[in-house]
Chain A
Amino acid sequence: MKNKNLYNYILGIADNSLILGQRLGELCGHGPNLETDIALTNISLDLLGQTRNYYQYIARLHDKEKTEDDIAFLRSEREYINVLLVEQPNTHFGFVMARQFFYDVFHLMLMEKLQESKDETLSAIAKKAIKEVSYHFRFSSDWVKRLGDGTKESHYKMQEAVDELWRFTDEFFHLTEADKAMIEAGIGVDVSNFKEAYYIKVSEILTEATLSIGASKYFQKGGKQGIHSEHMGFILTELQYMQRTYPNMKW
């Protein structure tokens, strides 16, 4: 491979979008009302569109001829390097929004910095994505506020989701070897630089939503090393179903 670090760096970002896009895709047609259904589908579409841009780019870095679909569908579970947060299930609408919110705050900060990447393709993808991601952030943070400061029941449910998902937020800021190499090369973003800003932003919005920030100091990790939660196998079972059942065909 021409540039393994670049490949793995981009794969890390892209896999997050793929798996979150897939999770949101499960909800299409089942939202609490038509308006949110349409909005969540939009977010899923944006994320999958970004995924395609990233995969198409790194497919070219491969020695063998690869396509975006080879990368998306034909890896083993241990080869997906998305963070654990994005694979967490759609337990209820509060979980969907908390997961989205935690991710969007990070994603927006990442895209802001990625625009400055020395890699022109990556910078161009970030410039396009940032418009979409700003909308995602607005949507999810508005819903966090609505649910947190809505009714007693919604407050309870939103707090439950925040408490449960909080433990997955720290993993965003773990640097892999590929991350470090790409930061060194001026291509990747040193996400540890905005870790503090991330938690300030998250706390600000949770406070406005009358929610308390996650109390646990114990965090989970592993996704970036391909060690996933037990949910991941089921996600891939559906995602890969057609490609695995009918290999080497055009669709």
Chain B
Amino acid sequence: MNEKDIKNLEEIFEQRIARDEKIEPKDWMPEKYRQTHIRQISQHAHSEIVGMLPEGNWITRAPTLRRKVALLAKVQDEAGHGLYLYSATETLGITREELYEQLHSGKAKYSSIFNYPAITWADMGAIGWLVDGAAIINQVALCTTSFGPYARAMVRICKEESFHQRQGFEILLTLCNGTEVQKAMAQDSLNRWWWPSLMMFGPPDAESTHTEQSMKWKLKRKSNDDLRQQFIDQTIPQAEILGIKVPDPDLKWNEKRKSYDFGEIDWEEFWQVVKGHGPCNKERINARIDAWEKGVWVRDAALAYAEKQSDKKLNKAV
């Protein structure tokens, strides 16, 4: 294909996206589109499976049977999200093994929020309420993104995430209606998860890379700062219902903007965690590597067994 042909294809491609048509795996796409999508969708998939770890920690310690079952189901949903996001990524011509390799080697990133420790039961509430809440804001826009398999996966994921968010809020509401000890547990949890949740929307717009291209491909519909503001405005009234206080002395309603003003985010901490030096980065990656390496013999066995079975069938047929 000569340069002119490619240019022509690119134009048709961009026009299709502009018309809100979905791009499917077998359609022609620019290499950069393919690579950007592999990076973003796999990052999302990795976030789901690394995200299973902090909550998975509490399954054996959940305080009631109802909570234990709900938490198990939630973590299982995350595994399911991981599964279809990996499948969506695989349609772009990369294998699950390669994707895992990128996660384990540190080449691929995942949401930094999961590098914070979940140390009390209230954290199961805060993760659902704040982390899933922030994730939904990021993800709702992706339900109409240009790459078909990703958009379809997001529709289902968003439905389940909004259920998780309500579940998290309800965990905290129960604590806040409980004893002083429980209420203090909820407050402590909000104190620890608030700022990292705000960081989930990424660096300020001025420092954010990839944005313009991502907007064009509908991988991003609003800027980091806009989404962050939306999250804050929507979450503060919920904190008021709970009766716990967001740990930001500068937080104030701005009548003119009809929005909350808020304090400075500690971007130094953000970059430290992104670069791999958060409280649990090493533990999370080690847990993933450990599960994968301990599973080698199991996966090998499944493969060997399947081959033997198909040989048997073949012999019978002959």
Chain A bound to chain B:
yes
A149 touches B53 (CB 8 A): no
- Which of A121-129, A151-159, A170-178, A221-229 lies on the face that meets chain B? A151-159
CB distance from A103 to the nearest CB of B (A): 19
Task: State which residues 171-198 of B face A: CB under 8 Å.
Answer: 171, 174-175, 177-179, 181-182
Chain B contact residues: over half helix, strand or loop, or mixed? Answer: helix
**Nearest chain B residue, comparing its CB with the CB of A55:** B65
Is B76 in contact with A45, judged by CB distance below 8 angstroms?
A: yes
Q: Which residues of chain B are near A251, meaning CB under 8 Å?
A: 63-64, 67, 121, 171, 174-175, 178
1/0 contact string of A11-42 vs chain B (CB within 8 Å): 00000000000100110111111111110011
**Pair B287/A30 contact, Cβ less than 8 Å:** yes
1/0 per residue, CB under 8 A from A, across B21-35: the answer is: 000000000000000
Judged by a CB distance under 8 angstroms, whether B221 is at the interface is no
Assess whether B277 is interfacial by the CB under 8 Å rule: no
* Segment 53-106 of B: residues with Cβ below 8 Å from A: 53, 56, 59-69, 72-73, 75-76, 79-80, 82-83, 86
Whether the Cβ atoms of A32 and B291 lie closer than 8 Å is: yes
Q: Is A65 in the interface zone, CB < 8 Å from B?
A: no
The 0/1 profile, CB within 8 Å of B marked 1, for residues 41-85 of chain A is 110110011011001000000000000110011000000000000
Chain A residue contacts of B171, Cβ below 8 A: 251
Contact A249 B305 (CB under 8 A): no
Q: Does A32 contact B65, Cβ atoms closer than 8 Å? A: no
**Contact: A32 with B69, CB < 8 Å?**
no
The answer, yes or no, to whether B295 is at the interface (CB within 8 Å) is yes
Instruction: Please name all residues of chain B whose beta carbon is closer than 8 Å to the beta carbon of A249 when the two chains form the complex.
Output: 178-179, 181-182
For residue A250, CB closer than 8 A to chain B, the reply is yes
Residue in A44, A48, A151, A238 whose beta carbon sits within 8 Å of that of B65 in the complex:
A48
- A239 surroundings in chain B (CB, below 8 A): 60-61
Q: Interface digits, B115-142 against A, CB 8 Å rule (1 contact, 0 not)?
A: 0000001000000000000000000000
CB of B72 within 8 A of CB of A25, answer yes
Bound: A26/B62 CA distance, A: 12
- Tell me whether A49 and B305 are in contact in the complex, defined as CB-CB below 8 angstroms, given that A28-B59, A246-B182 are known contacts: no
What is the distance, in angstroms, from A59's C-beta to the closest C-beta of chain B?
Answer: 11
A38–B78 Cα distance when bound, in Å, is 10
Please, which residues of chain B bring their CB within 8 A of the CB of A146? 301-302, 305
- B72 and A154 contacting across the interface, CB-CB below 8 Å: no
Q: Give the dominant DSSP class at A's interface.
A: helix
Collect the chain A residues with CB atoms within 8 Å of residue B76's CB: 28, 38, 41-42, 45
> With A37-B79, A38-B80, A45-B73 in contact, do A238 and B304 touch (Cβ < 8 Å)?
no
Residue contact B75 to A28, C-beta cutoff 8 Å: yes
Q: Which residues of B contact A241 (CB under 8 A)?
A: 61
**What's the nearest-Cβ distance from chain B to residue A170, in Å?**
28
Interface size class of A (residues with CB under 8 A): 35 or more
Q: Are A93 and B295 closer than 8 Å at their CB atoms?
A: yes
A167 part of interface (Cβ distance < 8 Å): no
Q: Is B65 touching A29 in the complex (CB atoms < 8 A)?
A: no
For residue A145, CB closer than 8 A to chain B, the reply is: yes
Flag if A154 contacts B75 (CB, 8 Å).
Answer: no
Task: Provide the residues of chain A in CB contact with B64, threshold 8 Å.
Answer: 69, 72-73, 251
Q: How far is the CB of A53 from chain B (nearest CB, A)?
A: 11
Once A93-B298, A249-B179 are accepted as A-B contacts, the answer to whether A35 and B305 lie under 8 Å apart by CB is no
The answer to the question of A150 belonging to the interface, with a C-beta cut-off of 8 Å to chain B, is: yes
A243 in the interface, Cβ–Cβ < 8 Å?
A: yes
Q: Which B residues lie within 8 Å of A182 (CB)?
A: none
CA distance in complex: A31, B179 (Å): 37
Cβ < 8 Å to B, chain A residues 232-249? 238-239, 241-243, 246, 249
**How distant is the Cα of A73 from the Cα of B60 in the complex, in angstroms?**
12
User: A250 with B294: in contact, given A29-B52, A68-B65, A242-B62 (CB under 8 Å)?
Assistant: no
Other A-B pairs beyond A34-B86, A154-B300, 5, CB < 8 Å: A36-B298, A51-B65, A52-B66, A93-B298, A251-B63
List chain A positions with a Cβ less than 8 A from chain B. Answer: 22, 25-26, 28-38, 41-42, 44-45, 48-49, 51-52, 55, 68-69, 72-73, 92-93, 145-147, 149-151, 153-154, 157, 238-239, 241-243, 246, 249-251
Which 10 pairs between the two chains have the least Cβ-Cβ distance? A32-B295, A150-B301, A154-B301, A242-B63, A29-B56, A251-B63, A29-B52, A32-B298, A146-B305, A41-B76
16 contacts between A and B (CB under 8 A): A28-B76, A31-B295, A34-B82, A34-B83, A38-B76, A42-B76, A45-B69, A69-B65, A147-B305, A149-B305, A150-B303, A150-B305, A151-B304, A153-B300, A154-B297, A238-B61
